[in-house]
Chains A and B, each alone.
Chain A
Amino acid sequence: MSEPIVAIRNVSKKFPGGVIAVDDVSIDIAQNEFFALLGPSGCGKTTLLRMISGLETPTSGQIIIGGEDMALTPPNKRPTNMVFQSYAVFPHMTVAQNVAYGLKVTGVESSEIKRRVAEGLEMVKLTALADRKPDQMSGGQRQRVALARALVKRPKVLLLDEPLSALDAKLRDDMRMELTRLQETVGITFIIVTHDQDEALSMASRIAVMEKGAVQQIATPSELYEHPRNRFVADFIGKVNLIDATVLGQKGRSISCDAKGLGKIEIASDKAVGSSVSIAVRPEKLRISKGRPENKSVVKLEGTVRDVAYYGDTSHVVIEGKDGLNLSVNVQNDTRLGGAGVERGQKVWVQWAPEDSIILTE
């Protein structure tokens, strides 16, 4: 990675009363990245974003933006701009006045302001509404105002706090594409905070998963999904079947273990592992068959269908095996007939390729 545009070095934030919101976080964010801070509510992601913007001061650690330590730089002097969760569009100003505000207070020339406001409104397709007041606009439009207002300042980094959470489902999809498009056209680093894994996976180039103030993993979306580092990440990103297992021995690049409900199985793993692990398998990697699978190399077990939930494009089937092991299986409904093709109470076999299993030790 070349010189990071934002470098967060061992940053912690302790609130009065002893709550540790952010705990020794270090992240490097590269120029032009679409970076997501993902985690459940209360994990410290918004606090971290506010510390980057300067609205919150770290208790310890360093925040470096564009090579400069920001410790003594107030928010109005930082090369960052923020799109707030409530949008925070100024109610007593028109759309154009809102967009012009950030330029006006920093003494930009009025002809330059005019030009950049027009450009900014064009970018978010609000030119026609320039003279409207915010209370005559929808949530989606107000968000565009907030976006334009931040972008005309030409920050090095744009910070977005839960930008899609207040929009309805249809609008959210449009806005998601719009944000990706904007990020590509303006070429500014975006840092987005979200609790919605779909949002992060579909937009971000890299994601930091946070829990209880600490970063659990930083990776690309597919890496996070297919190679989660621990149980929390595996469970938080997408759905997962977690099977407890005891390691019996390690032979070269594979381990043999005694898994709950599966008996003795062998799984490839190049990591040195302890005695107790979790085997994680994504529901869509599992296959259901009526008869015993003939392929010797697959992991297989027999079970009873406990539940079938129909979702249109997929059906989610829960199968109960031995020892109370419950497995979720996602079945693509790829023909118009039959859905998942199984019924509650039916005896079926479940199989998956051993290489689709993830060994988790933490």
Chain B
Amino acid sequence: MAAQLKPGQGPLDYGSRLWLKILFGLIFFLLYAPIITLVAFSFNTDKRGIVWRGFTLDNYSKAWNNASLIEALTNSLVIAFLATLIATVLGALVALMLWRFRFPFKGGYEGFMALPIVIPEICMGVALLLFFVNSGMMDFFVAMPWPLNLGNIVIAHVSFCFPFVAVVVRSRLVGFNRQLEEASKDLGASEWQTFWSIIVPYMKPGLIAGALLAFTLSLDDFVITFFTSGPETVTFPVKVYSLVRRGVSPEINAASTVLIVITVVATVLAMKLQAPPKPRKG
């Protein structure tokens, strides 16, 4: 007679085993408790933000009225927007080139292009700082009026964001059926028409995913920005860092929460757009 299995005892019923559930809960707690605390304390009435005293939205209005904080946030958003725009175009072009053409040292170039993904940020920051200072670009940009004085930071952000876009778009292009391109030409379209009406729509999910990735990376970058910003320019992460050194205030919690929300929304969108298409019927 076959032994009766109780629910949860089957060889693949991992999900219903108690110790696994506990481990699962513990990991999630350790990962997310700090973030949840940060969000919760942004609604705290207590000035020093250590003890829970009651619910309020004051911190948000205070953060909103803090001119230097808002200036830093604006800087961050402008940098992220410009860096994303440039990095997406550059990354897409690199991906297209690597997908479409064969040329000497292609493998080498492909590896080299992805270097900013793996290189430690601190090295990247120092390298960029040295480059900007020695080439005179630092002095050049710092002397410019806003928003041109953010130029060096934008360039730095583009340099570490575009490989991410290139990698995402390239992996999307691998699945492209070359017969679509041939069909388009066969139906009378020129190269240019084919590129805009067949290839770009196909790349679109990759482009959006890559752009959102670049946006989030740029928005919360601290190390590279810290090295490459001029003495007067402050971005949001750098500003938060300088405020925290004088003690945590619920205001920072509020501003951080806003940033988290922006990042999470962008990431969720990126993941949605990168998800494989629904399986075909028939």
Give A residues with C-beta under 8 Å from B.
Answer: 53-55, 74-77, 80-82, 84-86, 88, 90-92, 101-102, 105-106, 135-139, 146, 149-150, 153
A146 to B277 CA separation, bound complex (whole angstroms): 21
B193 cross-chain contacts in A, Cβ below 8 A: 105
How many B residues have CB within 8 A of the partner chain?
A: 23
Q: Which residue of A lies closest to B183 (CB)?
A: A88
Instruction: Check B186–A55 contact: CB distance below 8 A.
Output: yes
Q: Which residue of A lies closest to B279 (CB)?
A: A135
Residue B197 lies at the interface, judged by CB distance under 8 Å to chain A = yes
If the complex has contacts A75-B186, A76-B189, are A86 and B282 also in contact, measured as CB distance less than 8 A?
A: no
If the complex has contacts A88-B180, A90-B198, are A81 and B185 also in contact, measured as CB distance less than 8 A?
A: no
Instruction: Check A101–B177 contact: CB distance below 8 A.
Output: no
A81 cross-chain contacts in B, Cβ below 8 A: 186-187
| 8 cross-chain CB contacts under 8 A | A82-B182, A82-B183, A85-B179, A86-B179, A92-B202, A135-B277, A150-B186, A153-B187
CB distance from B164 to the nearest CB of A (A): 24
If the complex has contacts A149-B187, A150-B187, are A136 and B182 also in contact, measured as CB distance less than 8 A?
A: no
A86 cross-chain contacts in B, Cβ below 8 A: 177, 179
Residue B280 lies at the interface, judged by CB distance under 8 Å to chain A = yes
Instruction: Check A136–B281 contact: CB distance below 8 A.
Output: yes
Instruction: Check A76–B188 contact: CB distance below 8 A.
Output: yes
A92 to B188 CA separation, bound complex (whole angstroms): 18
Residue B274 lies at the interface, judged by CB distance under 8 Å to chain A = no
15 additional contacts (CB under 8 A) given A88-B180, A88-B182, A153-B188: A53-B186, A75-B186, A76-B186, A76-B187, A81-B186, A82-B183, A84-B183, A90-B184, A91-B202, A92-B204, A105-B189, A105-B190, A136-B281, A138-B281, A146-B183
A135 cross-chain contacts in B, Cβ below 8 A: 277-278, 280-281
Instruction: Check A101–B281 contact: CB distance below 8 A.
Output: no
Q: Which residue of A lies closest to B180 (CB)?
A: A88
Q: Mark B216-236, 1 if CB is under 8 A from A, else 0.
A: 000000000000000000000
A82 cross-chain contacts in B, Cβ below 8 A: 182-183, 186
| CB-contacts of B225-282 with A (<8 A) | 277-278, 280-282
Name which of A81, A91, A138 has the most chain B CB atoms within 10 A of its CB. A91
Instruction: Check B187–A102 contact: CB distance below 8 A.
Output: yes
CB distance from B244 to the nearest CB of A (A): 47
Instruction: Check B185–A101 contact: CB distance below 8 A.
Output: no
- B282 partner, pick from A75, A105, A137, beta carbons under 8 A: A137
